[in-house]
Amino acid sequence: MMYDGYFANLPDEASADEYRRLLWLETDRAYKNNARQFSGFMSSLKRVSVDEKELALDDFARITPVVKDFGAIQPIEIDTKKWEHNLKVLSALFNAYPKITTSYCRLMVGSSENYLVSSEGSVIRKPGGAVTFMAYGGASDEKGNNYNSSYAITVKTIDELPSLEKLQASVKELIGKIQQKEQAKAFEGAYMGPVLFVGNAVGDIVNQCFSNTLQTRRKSVLGYNSGETSYEEKLGQKLVASELTVTAVPSLKTVNGKHTTGYYQVDDEGVVPADSLVLIEAGILKNLLNGRTPTRKFPRSQGFGQSFMGRNYNAGVLKLTSAKTVNADSMQARLLQLAKEEGLTVAYMVKDLYFNSPEIYRIDVASGKTEMVNECKITPLNMKSLRRFIVASDKQQLENSSDYSIVAPESMIINEIEIEQNETTTKPKPIIVSNPLLDKKA
C-alpha cells in the first residue's frame, strides 16, 4: 500500500478487519503528514511576494469523478520448474567464456491491482503487470577496460516471451558482442558526420529526447528553480526536424501483433485520457503531457498522471513517426552516400547506446567493410540533435518497459553527430588474483 509516495506493508492474512484497520491508520498518517506540509508552505508564503496569476491557479484541477471497474488482477501462471530449467540452461551458456566475470539471466514477473478511491467520488480498479527477461554479461581486460552487453525483452504476458531456443540465440549473440568489443580496435581521432542508429539505439534516443521533457512544470511560488527547461514557453516553436511527429497514444494496445505494456484507460489521478495527443507535429511543439497540477496554459488534466501515483507524467505509448522514409534495407547505402557527399572516408553505425559500453561500428565508405570500435563515446543527444534528422526506415519497432512503450522506426540517420575518444584518465586495476576458471583450463 502506498500513501503520498511511500509504501506500507500489507498483512499476509486475508482479514477484512485487519485491512480496514491498516487503511484507517495509514490514511490518518498521510493526512497529518500533508497537513504539516501545508502549514509549512503557508508560513513560507508570508515571507515572499508571489505573482498573483500563479496564486490564482488551483492547487489541484477539478474533474468529473470516474466510477468504473477496469478489471481484476490478472494472475500470471508460471511453470516454475520449466523456468528454473530455462534460466539454468541460459546462464550456463556463459560458462564456456571464463573471461566474462559477471553474468546473469533473470525472469521478472509483476502483476498488480490498483485502486483509486477519492473524496471527489472516484472509485476505480484497474489491473497491471508485465514480464521481463534480462541477460547481462561483463568482462574486463588487463588495461582496466570494461566490456559489457545486455539483452532485455518486456512483454505483457509470459506466453509472449520468445521460445527457449530464441532466448539461447539472443544470449549467444550477447556473448559474441562482448568478445567483439574486447577484440575491437580503439577509436582514434574525432568524427562529425552522419550516423545510422539501429534497433535499441533508436529507442534510446526517443527515450532521452522526449520521455521526460515534453511535460508541463508548475513554477515554484517559493522561488525554487529546478533548472529544467520550461517547454510551455516553447509551444508553437520548432523543436525538431519538420519530418518528425511525436504522439502520445495511451489507447494503443498492439503493434505488429505485439502487446504494448504502456496501454492504459485511466490514469493514476482518475482522469480518462484521449485516445491520442499530438505533442510535436511536423517538428512544431503543439502540446505537453500533464496531470492535475494546473499551469497557466494547461489548467485541466489531459490524463497523463500515469507514473508513481501521478507525480510524473507518462505518455503510456509514445510514438515517433517520420514523413521521410526509405526502404529499411537501403539505410546503410543511404548513410554511405551521405558520407561520400561530405568527403568522409568512413561513417558510423550505432546499435546500442548503453551508457558505458556503446555498440558502435565503423563502415568504410569505399568498400563497405564494417568493423566494431571501442573506447569511444557519442556526444549526448537531445532534441536539438533531431533538427539534423535525415531519414528513417519504413518499418517500425516496439520497445516495452514495465509501464511504458516506445514505437519508433527500426533505424534512422542523423547528421552532424560527434563521436570522440573516451577521456578516462584513470581505470580500475585488473583483478590481482588469477581467474581460477582460466587456471583450470591451462
The C-alpha cell 496501454 sits at 263
Count the residues in the chain: 442
Residue percentage of the chain with pLDDT more than 90: 64
For residue 227, name the pLDDT band (cuts at 50, 70, 90).
low
The type of residue at 108 is: M
Rounded to 5°, the CA angle 130-250-159 comes to 25
Q: How far apart are CA 105 and CA 53, in angstroms?
A: 54
Comparing 2-11, 36-45, 212-221, the range with the smallest average pLDDT is 2-11
Which residues face 9 on adjacent strands? none
* pLDDT above 60 (res 442): no
Q: How far apart are CA 305 and CA 236, in angstroms?
A: 23
Question: What is the pLDDT averaged over residues 168-180?
Answer: 96
Residue predicted with more confidence, 10 or 318: 318
- Cα 404 from chain centroid (whole Å): 7
Q: How far apart are CA 81 and CA 58, in angstroms?
A: 54
The type of residue at 146 is: N
Question: What is the pLDDT averaged over residues 162-172?
Answer: 97
* pLDDT above 50 (res 310): no
Helix (H) or strand (E) holding 407: strand 405-409
Residues near 52 by Cβ (< 8 Å), separated by ≥ 6?
none
Read off the pLDDT of residues 336-351 as tens digits, 9 standing for 90 and up: 999 999 999 999 999 9
Mean pLDDT of the chain: 89
Answer whether 262's CB lies under 8 Å from 405's CB: yes
234 in helix, strand or coil? helix
Instruction: Read off the pTM.
Output: 0.90
Dihedral sign for Cα atoms in the order 264, 265, 268, 269: positive
Q: How far apart are CA 193 and CA 219, in angstroms?
A: 39
Alpha-carbon Rg for the chain, nearest whole angstrom, is 25
Work out whether strand 411-421 and strand 190-198 pair parallel, antiparallel, or are unpaired.
antiparallel
Structural domains in the chain plus CATH codes: 1-29 (no CATH), 80-183 (3.30.2290.10), 186-424 (no CATH)
Phi and psi of 25, rounded to 5°?
-65, -45
For residue 437, name the pLDDT band (cuts at 50, 70, 90).
low
Nearest to 373 by CA among 101, 230, 180: 180
* pLDDT above 70 (res 266): yes
Q: How far apart are CA 38 and CA 405, in angstroms?
A: 36
Question: What is the pLDDT averaged over residues 366-387?
Answer: 93
Please provide the distance, in angstroms rounded to a whole number, between the alpha carbons at the two ends of the chain.
Answer: 55
Read off the pLDDT of residues 114-137 as tens digits, 9 standing for 90 and up: 888 889 999 999 998 999 999 999
Question: What is the pLDDT averaged over residues 259-283?
Answer: 95
